[in-house]
Amino acid sequence: MPYDLKEIAAISGMPGLYRLVKPTRAGVIIESLDARAARSVASARNKVSLLQEISIYTQDYDQTVPLTEVFDRIHQKYGTALTVNNKSDDRDLTAFMGEIIPDYDRDRVYMSDIKKLVQWYQAVSSTLEYQAPATETVEPTTAEEPEAATVAADTAPAEESQVKKPKAKKKTDEATSNE
Element (H, E) at 96: helix 90-100
Classified as helix, coil or strand, 21 is strand
The pLDDT value recorded for residue 134 is: 56
Alpha-carbon distance values, 136 to 6, 102, 120, 125, 133 (Å): 22, 22, 25, 20, 6
Q: Is 125 exposed, middle or buried (0-12, 13-18, 19+ CB in 10 A)?
A: buried
**Among candidates 71, 72, 46, 65, which has minimal Cα distance to 133?**
72
Tell whether the model's pLDDT for residue 171 goes beyond 50: no
The pLDDT value recorded for residue 126 is: 81
Q: Which of 71-80, 85-94, 158-167 has the lowest mean pLDDT?
A: 158-167
The pLDDT value recorded for residue 26 is: 86
pLDDT-based confidence at 135, cuts 50/70/90?
A: low
Average pLDDT over residues 74-102: 89
Tell whether the model's pLDDT for residue 167 goes beyond 50: no
What is 8-50's CATH number, 2.60.120, 2.60.40, 2.30.30, 1.20.120?
A: 2.30.30
Number of H helices, E strands in the chain: 4, 7
Tell whether the model's pLDDT for residue 142 goes beyond 80: no
Average pLDDT over residues 77-99: 88
The pLDDT value recorded for residue 56 is: 93
Classified as helix, coil or strand, 20 is strand
Domain locations along the chain = 8-50, 55-127
- Are 111 and 90 in contact by the 8 Å Cβ rule? The answer is yes
Alpha-carbon distance values, 28 to 19, 36, 87, 120, 176 (Å): 10, 19, 31, 21, 61
The pLDDT value recorded for residue 36 is: 80
Classified as helix, coil or strand, 163 is helix
- pTM for the structure as a whole: 0.68
- Are 66 and 58 in contact by the 8 Å Cβ rule? The answer is no
**Among candidates 53, 50, 104, which has minimal Cα distance to 74?**
104
Task: Give pLDDT tens digits for 61-77.
Answer: 889 999 989 989 998 88
The pLDDT value recorded for residue 16 is: 87
Largest CA distance in the chain: 93
- Are 70 and 100 in contact by the 8 Å Cβ rule? The answer is yes
Q: Which of 18-32, 93-107, 163-177 has the lowest mean pLDDT?
A: 163-177
Tell whether the model's pLDDT for residue 155 goes beyond 50: no
Which residues make beta-bridge pairs with 40?
Answer: 30
Task: Give pLDDT tens digits for 93-116.
Answer: 999 999 999 999 999 999 999 999
